[in-house]
Each structure stands twice: as C-alpha cells, then as structure tokens.
Amino acid sequence: MGRTKKIGLGASFGARYGTLARKRYVEIVSQMRLKHKCPKCHRKAVKRESVGIWICRKCGFKFAGGAYTPTTKLGEAAERSTIKEAPIEGLIVKPIKETKATRKRKVKKSETEEAKEAKET
C-alpha cells in the first residue's frame, strides 16, 4: 500500500469524498488529537473524553467544551467580554470550586446487633 505522508489522517478515505472534505477532516481531527492547556493547572495534558467533554490527565479536572476543541470561538469571545465588564460591574472572577469527596453515610445498626447489645447489658 502507498505511503500517506501528504494526506495524513485523511488517507483512510482513499480517493473518496473530494480533496476539500478530506482536508477539512484532517484539520479538525489533528486539532482535536493535540494535547491542550488545562484551565485549572495550566499544563498541556487535556485530552478529549467524548464529544464536548474534556479531561486533564494530570489533575483530573473534567469540563465541558467544544466538540473538537476545549474552547469554542463563541466561548472565548464571551470570556473576553465578561473579563472586560467585571471591574465595571464589581464582579470578581473566581476559580471554580472543587467538589468535595463524597461523604460516607452513616449506617444504622441492624436490629440484631441492637438486640445483642440489649442482652449484654
């Protein structure tokens, strides 16, 4: 089989679907498979878990983003506008709080254990 140095990831389609569609596919998929910067620990360790769900391999931070990139163009624009307006409106940009570990719930003693304790006393 021939080499696919020029085509790269789009070689899986062979000669089908046209060059433009294959080039778009290669651009999107290659961007998606890169390691991205984590918004929490700022390390290049973010990988896509599923469509729109991204997870940092270092700190385990899971967040929602775009389908093929962790941030969308619309999300970046919204973040810029929010940061500009924050000092005017008195808003303070705070990091997202981490969720606490799940609490262990208290288990009630079974009736048999209570009966044993009653007999002993």
Question: Which tokens in the block code for residue 71?
Answer: 């941030």
**pLDDT of amino acid 120:** 73
Contacts of 11 (CB under 8 A, 6+ apart): 4
Taking 80 as the threshold, does the pLDDT of residue 51 lie above it? Answer: yes
Taking 80 as the threshold, does the pLDDT of residue 117 lie above it? Answer: no
> Distances from the Cα of 87 to the Cαs of 32, 52, 83, 93, 99, in angstroms?
34, 31, 8, 9, 27
**pLDDT of amino acid 83:** 72
Taking 90 as the threshold, does the pLDDT of residue 63 lie above it? Answer: yes
Q: Where in the chain is the domain with CATH 2.20.25.30?
A: 35-95
Sign of CA dihedral 111, 112, 115, 116: negative
> What CATH number was assigned to the domain covering residues 35-95?
2.20.25.30
66-107: pLDDT as tens digits? 999 998 888 888 888 877 666 665 555 555 566 555 556 665
**pLDDT of amino acid 14:** 82
**pLDDT of amino acid 46:** 94
